Amino acid sequence: MTLEELQNMIDKMYSRKDEARGVEGTFMWLMEEVGELAAALRGDNKEELAKEFADVLAWLATIANVAGINLTEAVALKYGNGCPGCSQMVCVCSDAEKP
């Protein structure tokens, strides 16, 4: 599944609810899922961890939809020509830097 297919699927399933909730409300749900992912990362249940990664990705797609952002285009714009910090496809930024 591509990012575009994910966004379209999420839009089809949830757009009415998501638009009513708005960016702020949707962002709060995303943050809750990030917290659940953090908890799952401390454990050793790969199935639960996979589900939490899926939830975070789905809520990210949801908030992008509500904000009118195409994730495929956004990723290509930011990372399509390499690392935003050093412009290399294999990042050579120092570990102290946030690329």
Q: Domains of the chain: which residue ranges?
A: 3-68
- Say if CB 27 and CB 63 are below 8 A apart: yes
Residue 99 has pLDDT above 70, yes or no: no
Q: How confident is the model at residue 82 (pLDDT cuts 50, 70, 90)?
A: very high
Q: State pLDDT tens for residues 24-73.
A: 999 999 999 999 999 999 999 999 999 999 999 999 999 999 999 999 99
Give the pLDDT band (50/70/90) at residue 97: confident
Global pTM value: 0.88
Structure-token pair, residue 1? 């599944």
Q: Where are the alpha helices (DSSP H) in the chain?
A: 3-41, 46-67, 71-79
3-68 — its CATH code? 1.10.287.1080
